[in-house]
């Protein structure tokens, strides 16, 4: 069984260090960020299984990041536990209304937090989320973040993996470059539109190198952007 990945987002090193030690003892893999920007980058690049998110952070509120994650199709189902000293009922309701899965008030016992994390992960696994996406012999394994064609691994970068996961989760629909930037990179990350073209080329090249060439599933839609389709090339 692969270790579940937890992203700890807190600007206090002592809290991050305490949580990391407790989580690693409980066989979790840990990622750390002390601000919203780094946290969002790690969510996009590393795809954690759960986020522990402090309310007050440099550069903005943790609620800002929570809103961003819940508005994006690729991260909307990512479990988020808010960590905060704000114990007022209105604060709790606000966080839960935005989409937080749980709310833990500081100071807290690490054992209790770990129990809450495990409970949330059990609910996620028990839902309708798929562990893999498949088209013929092209298989994308979400848990291990690996791609296979005819059971042979296909090498590609993390952004190309994220693109392919998004495409395979939303087939037969054309997306503009801006829409792909919002969904795959994040709505508040500044990236040039042409960056999408670069990663599309890399994704196609990776698929071309497999034992079966699936690169034609990534279609260019003239005047719009790109589409993942198993129905043949139309709209070029």
pLDDT tens, 60-75? 889 999 999 988 877 8
Report the b/e string of 53-71 with b at 16+ CB within 10 A. Answer: bbbebeeeebbebbebbee
Percentage of residues of the chain with pLDDT beyond 90: 47
Instruction: Tell me: pLDDT of 105 over 90.
Output: no
Predicted structure pTM score: 0.55
Q: What are phi and psi of 208, to 5 degrees?
A: -65, -30
What's the mean pLDDT in 128-157? 86
Task: Give the range with max mean pLDDT: 27-41, 64-78, 128-142.
Answer: 27-41
Half-sphere exposure of 92 (CA within 13 A, CB side): 8
- DSSP per-residue codes, 69-101: HHHSTTTTTS-EEEEES---HHHHHHHHHHT-S
Burial class (CB in 10 A: 0-12, 13-18, 19+), 154: buried
How is residue 35 written in tokens?
């601000």
Q: Which domains does the chain have, with CATH numbers?
A: 5-126 (3.40.50.2300), 132-228 (1.10.10.10)
8 Å CB contact between 84 and 106: yes
Please, what's the largest Cα pairwise distance for the chain?
Answer: 58
What average pLDDT does the structure give for the chain?
Answer: 86
pLDDT of residue 129: 47
Question: H or E element: which one contains 161?
Answer: helix 158-169
């Amino acid at each position: 069984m692969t270790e579940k990945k937890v992203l700890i987002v807190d600007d206090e090193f002592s809290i991050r260090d305490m949580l990391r030690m407790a989580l690693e003892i409980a066989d979790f893999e840990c990622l750390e960020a002390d601000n919203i920007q780094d946290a969002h980058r790690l969510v996009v690049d590393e795809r954690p299984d759960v986020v522990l998110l402090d309310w007050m952070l440099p550069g903005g509120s943790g609620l800002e990041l929570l809103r961003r994650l819940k508005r994006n199709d690729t991260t909307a189902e990512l479990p988020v536990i808010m960590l905060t000293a704000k114990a007022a009922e209105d604060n709790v309701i606000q966080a839960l209304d935005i989409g937080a899965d749980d709310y833990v008030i500081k100071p807290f016992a690490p054992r209790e937090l770990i129990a809450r994390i495990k409970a949330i992960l059990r609910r996620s696994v028990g839902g309708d989320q798929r562990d893999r996406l498949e088209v013929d012999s092209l298989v994308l394994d979400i848990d291990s973040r690996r791609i296979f064609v005819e059971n042979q691994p296909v090498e590609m970068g993390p952004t190309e993996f994220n693109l392919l996961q998004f495409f395979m989760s939303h087939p037969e629909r054309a997306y503009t470059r801006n829409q792909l930037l919002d969904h795959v990179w994040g709505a508040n990350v500044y990236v040039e539109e042409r960056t999408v073209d670069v990663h599309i080329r890399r994704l196609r090249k990776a698929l071309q190198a497999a034992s079966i060439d699936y690169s034609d599933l990534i279609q260019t839609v003239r005047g719009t952007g790109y589409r993942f389709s198993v129905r043949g090339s139309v709209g070029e």
